Amino acid sequence: MYKKSIDDPAGFWSEIASEFYWKEKWDPEVYTGNLDVTTGPIKIEWFKGGSTNICYNALDRNIETGNGDKIALYWEGNEPGSDVKLTYNELLEKVCQLANYLKHVGVKKGDAVVIYLPMLMELPIAMLACARIGAVHSVVFAGFSAESLAQRIIDCKPKVVITANAVRRGAKAIHLKDIVDNALTESEKSGVPVGLCLTYENHLAMERGATKWQDGRDIWWQDVVPEFPTKCEVEWVDSEDPLFLLYTSGSTGKPKGVLHTTGGYMVYTATTFKYAFDYKSSDIYCADCGWITGHSYVTYGPLLNGATVVIFEGAPNYPDAGRSWDIVDKYKVTIFYTAPTLIRSLMREGNEYVTRYSRKSLRVLGSVGEPINPSAWRWFYNVVGNSRCPISDTWWQTETGGFMITPLPGAWPQKPGSATFPFFGVQPVIVDEKGNEIEGECSGYLCIKRSWPGAFRTLYGDHERYETTYFKPFSGYYFSGDGCSRDKDGYHWLTGRVDDVINVSGHRIGTAEVESALVSHPQCAEAAVVGVEHEVKGQGIYAFVTLVDGVPYSEELRKDLISTVRKQIGAFAAPEKIHWAPGLPKTRSGKIMRRILRKIASRQLDELGDISTLADPSVVEQLIALGDS
Ligand code: WT7
């Protein structure tokens, strides 16, 4: 199949695409011409001229083939014992009601809708409702601060923001609506007023009476949506019409609006889900929902296959570290997809939390978000999976839409820590600094040759940045931003980001974003942020700061700087360490030498390398001394 997918991508993918419903078939000539990434302007297109609807394919199509009474979603609440389930029929009804409501308030094809919801059923419902009417959803992770949310609202100018009043994670309640209120005040000040904030009352976390309210703008979901009809006509959209925007971090302070379109994304997420998890119709699938994973492998990929999905609202250590396996037993989960950071944190709690549960339903395990270290891999395999479930270590990105390098369970021998081989249609290459492809056993920059159906099409409002970031660094290829090595058997080993992006617990954070938050503090003159190894989170944020002249460094200031970052980006981006620096190592042209800062942060002091090109080499000594304090 792989060979066919490379030799004849058009034939390979159109055969698969034909299993879906298309209102109108695509034009085979256009479609084969646009996978090329060798010459600009880059314009990737798949199934061009075809019209379809991903919500129709995920719901109506499965109902028409007799699966209406099958469970589509199980929802497990933060508190053990709180749960809800929805069949495909019921899910479609809920989606249609919201879709009708959105149409009623004037949301039209192409309009943006921002979704700031925690892991409630309403999150996939909201995405699917937008897709049904051709609106473009933009989910903002509910861990982002008001300022980050505002920044995204200002960029995509939504007609509506959909949120919940609060969420409970573990013992903590987070008042999401307050965050949204602040974001909306901010966006209005910047000339982007949002007229409607549809708020779901998550009464288990907070009663509506306690929620701050702005009459005229704020509407309770429960007061309006259930009044609408449970049937809603589908808006047929072009294969290349936008489906969603998802903001992600890059190497500048401004987040990138990754834009995915409809047809190729649909075919790709469905196919990768099916093969990388060896999906069978009897499977019960449970996944962590962060970010793009919640789009491709909680909502679209699984539902397009008619799968049953378990979504979990809470925290994996509440009420204790066995909660994940409690959920596995409760729902007889067969495929369990999670992240290395979670595996490492549970590993530390001891095996009893795992072995207490039977887990005998498990068949396939999955990992995503960062390279999985072999010891975490082995624990996941031996302890969680009782040495009988293959692990799909799926390498992919927000930009790729779906899995790119991943095992096919059982199809080839695994190596702990290797994502193994490319998925159908994907041609990974490793290039050297000059952009030359290197063969055999090697290590370098991971790029992809020719495009694939799930690839993003542009950065919203900034096609130039799209080309410069992804296609210019190594001419003729899509550049992933990751380092990779290939062993003598051809297995791929991802080695982490090679750009200015830090991966903290699978959250992608741009060093520039953290730096700009730090320097917004009136006493901080300059900041340089690097990633350091962290036992549980994979990487932690380490910030060097110089202060405004005359300001003394103090414990209070340290806390203040950290809280500035939490406030501007979100708690997940808080630095582990603030390192006061009277001066930063700079070249004579003023460029900060991060290579040196990385070594100082990780205390690899004998590997500082050449520091003679620095404008003032003595700052290095000074920094090392202060790092010990
Ligand atoms: C970056 C993409 C893909 C969904 C979650 C993150 C790292 C992701 C793996 C893996 C090694 C991985 C890469 C990549 N990454 N999965 N299996 N092995 N590294 O999506 O926020 O777009 O981040 O996550 O560095 O570039 P994202």
Q: Establish whether residue 508 lines the binding site of ligand 1, counting it when its CB lies within 6 angstroms of any ligand atom.
A: yes
Give residue 51's pLDDT: 97
The Cα-based distances of 514 to 71, 135, 278, 531, 568 in angstroms read 42, 32, 40, 11, 9
d(CA 285, CA 334): 6
State which residues of the chain have pLDDT below 50: none
Beta-bridge mates of residue 499: none
Nearest CA to ligand 1 atom 8: 369
Nearest CA to ligand 1 atom 6: 369
Cβ neighbours, 10 Å, residue 193: 13
Q: Establish whether residue 482 lines the binding site of ligand 1, counting it when its CB lies within 6 angstroms of any ligand atom.
A: yes
CA of 538 to the centre of ligand 1 (A): 12
Give residue 42's pLDDT: 93
Residues 6+ apart with CB under 8 A from 294: 123, 124, 139
The answer to whether 155 is a known catalytic residue is: no
Topology, domain 505-626 = GMP Synthetase; Chain A, domain 3 (3.30.300)
SS3 state at 344:
helix
- Domain extents in the chain: 505-626
Q: Which one is catalytic: 178, 329, 499, 560?
A: 499
Scan for tokens 């701050």, then name that residue: 212
* pLDDT tens digit sequence for 512-547: 999 999 999 999 999 999 999 999 999 999 999 999
* pLDDT tens digit sequence for 449-463: 999 999 999 999 999
CB 289 within 8 Å of CB 309: no
Give residue 151's pLDDT: 96
Give residue 32's pLDDT: 60
Give residue 89's pLDDT: 98
Q: What is the pTM of this model?
A: 0.94
Residues 6+ apart with CB under 8 A from 370: 339, 340, 341, 496, 503, 506, 538, 539
Give residue 290's pLDDT: 64
d(CA 545, CA 529): 9
CA of 23 to the centre of ligand 1 (A): 34
Give residue 176's pLDDT: 97
CA of 209 to the centre of ligand 1 (A): 41
Q: Establish whether residue 506 lines the binding site of ligand 1, counting it when its CB lies within 6 angstroms of any ligand atom.
A: yes
* pLDDT tens digit sequence for 91-125: 999 999 999 999 999 999 999 999 999 999 999 99
CA of 249 to the centre of ligand 1 (A): 12
* pLDDT tens digit sequence for 214-257: 999 999 999 999 999 999 999 999 999 999 999 998 877 788 99
Give residue 626's pLDDT: 87
The pick from 395, 499, 572 for probing ligand 1's pocket by mutation, whose C-beta has the most ligand atoms within 8 angstroms, reads 395
Nearest CA to ligand 1 atom 14: 397
Tell me the two tokens of residue 220: 């309770």
